[in-house]
Amino acid sequence: MPELPEVETIARGLAPYVVGRRIEEFSHARRPPLFLTQSLPPDVIRGHTISGVRRAGKYVVFDLDPPLWLAIHLRMTGTLRAGRGLAPGPATRAVLRLSGGVNVVFGDVRKFGRMCVGRGDIRDVLGIGVDPLSPTTTPQLVRRLTGRGTTPVKVWLLDQRKLAGVGNIYACEALYAAGVRPTRRVGKLSLTQLARLLAALRRVLRDAIRHGGSSVDDYLDAEGKAGRFQKHHRVYGRAGKPCRRCRTPIRRIVLAQRGTFYCPVCQH
């Protein structure tokens, strides 16, 4: 469920609760497997201190001292909550018990979420690409990444090995904002169109972060609060409803098995 803006919101919300605290205990479910195959044995993090919380792609990352990291991917229904004396619930998959009585609880109804303990270059270990919000991600770099690829641009945006962090909602919204049809072959977009798309993507992501992310169904932040950006969606989830610009009904198609929404008039 959570994409870049939701993960960013969660990471920022966790920081005041966890930074500077020591991990006293780490308890976690075993089935279905919670840890990625490339993970170090998870229990090595016990006794380490959390030096920071950040986002890498769609992962929430706890930086530890001595140097090590714990990355958590929420997939569709994962939630991360922090609080003093916070209790586990029925869907709890893991709990970090920290110094000072603070608990971090990872809940996940569908059990798709995954964790990974590692050290060194996190992007290498997790296999994720560049960040769309990074100033080093330029239209020229994006062009190098797309090459002459024949993949539909919307499917390309969802490939975490290229750009990391974009999911279904923001891919749809950014393509609408840029006036680009989701089915366009990514390698055939001009550099100008790619630049427009990257700028639109950044605008949409920053805007969504400012609004605490999108709560379409069950996303909640680190303190259990819903996001507000769903009120700003222009196409996502609006099949059959009028385009806010031209009143044409928004169309829904399926690309790579994902619902894809666009305006047939405003997007070419």
Catalytic residue annotation: 2-3, 58, 258
- The piece of 95-103, 137-145, 196-204, 215-223 that touches DNA (CB under 7 A) is 215-223
Q: Which of 22, 123, 203, 258 binds DNA (CB under 7 A)?
A: 258
Structure tokens at 70: 């714990």
Dist CA 80 CA 13 (whole Å):
10
Strands (E), 42-143: 49-56, 59-65, 68-73, 78-84, 92-98, 102-108, 114-118
Structure tokens at 105: 């609880």
User: Comparing C-alpha atoms, which of 50, 51, 60, 52 is closest to residue 81?
Assistant: 60
**Min CB(31)–DNA separation in Å:** 7
Structure tokens at 258: 């994902």
Residues 32-51 as x/- pattern, contact with DNA by CB under 7 A = x---xx--------------
**Min CB(20)–DNA separation in Å:** 29
Q: Are strands 102-108 and 251-255 parallel, antiparallel or unpaired?
A: unpaired
One-character DSSP codes across 183-215:
TSBGGGS-HHHHHHHHHHHHHHHHHHHHTT---
In the bound state with DNA, the residue whose beta carbon lies nearer, of 23 and 158, is 158
In the bound state with DNA, the residue whose beta carbon lies nearer, of 53 and 128, is 128
Q: Which of 214, 235, 238, 262 binds DNA (CB under 7 A)?
A: 214
**Min CB(216)–DNA separation in Å:** 4
Question: Total residues contacting DNA (rule CB under 7 A)?
Answer: 39
List residues binding DNA (CB under 7 A): 1-3, 6, 31-32, 36-37, 57-58, 73, 75-76, 109-112, 127, 149-151, 155, 158, 160, 167-169, 213-219, 227, 256-259
